[in-house]
Amino acid sequence: MSAIRTQVYLTVEQRQRIDQLAARDGMTLAEVVRRALDHYLDDAGVDQETALDDTFGADRDVTPPARDEWLRG
């Protein structure tokens, strides 16, 4: 794996939580950060509108409210 050294500042709480995850999963701090960043970047590429369109009507058991209930109050 080719890598570029990068320095970031973490809060004390962030560092403690990362250290706990690393110890629990037997990984280095760097691996925890790389995996978290990969996960974040993968999610960032999801177009929310497309995701909603793709799932619209997916639950056939849902009964929409009657139209007269839309403007309550």
User: Which residue do the tokens 């320095």 mark?
Assistant: 7
Q: Is residue 48 part of a domain?
A: yes
User: Nearest-CA neighbor of 6 among 35, 32, 30, 42?
Assistant: 30
Considering its fold, how many domains does the chain have in total? 1
Please determine, for residue 18, whether its predicted confidence score (pLDDT) is greater than 80: yes
Q: Is residue 6 part of a domain?
A: no
Q: In angstroms, how far apart are the furthest CA atoms of the chain?
A: 60
Q: Is residue 35 part of a domain?
A: yes
| CA atoms of 18 and 13, how far apart (whole Å) | 9
Domain with 40 in it: 28-55
Q: Is residue 50 part of a domain?
A: yes
Span 1-25, average pLDDT: 94
30-63: pLDDT as tens digits = 999 999 999 988 877 777 788 777 777 777 787 8
Quote the pTM value.
Answer: 0.58
Q: Is residue 46 part of a domain?
A: yes
| CA atoms of 41 and 43, how far apart (whole Å) | 5
Percent of the chain with pLDDT over 90: 48
| CA atoms of 26 and 20, how far apart (whole Å) | 10
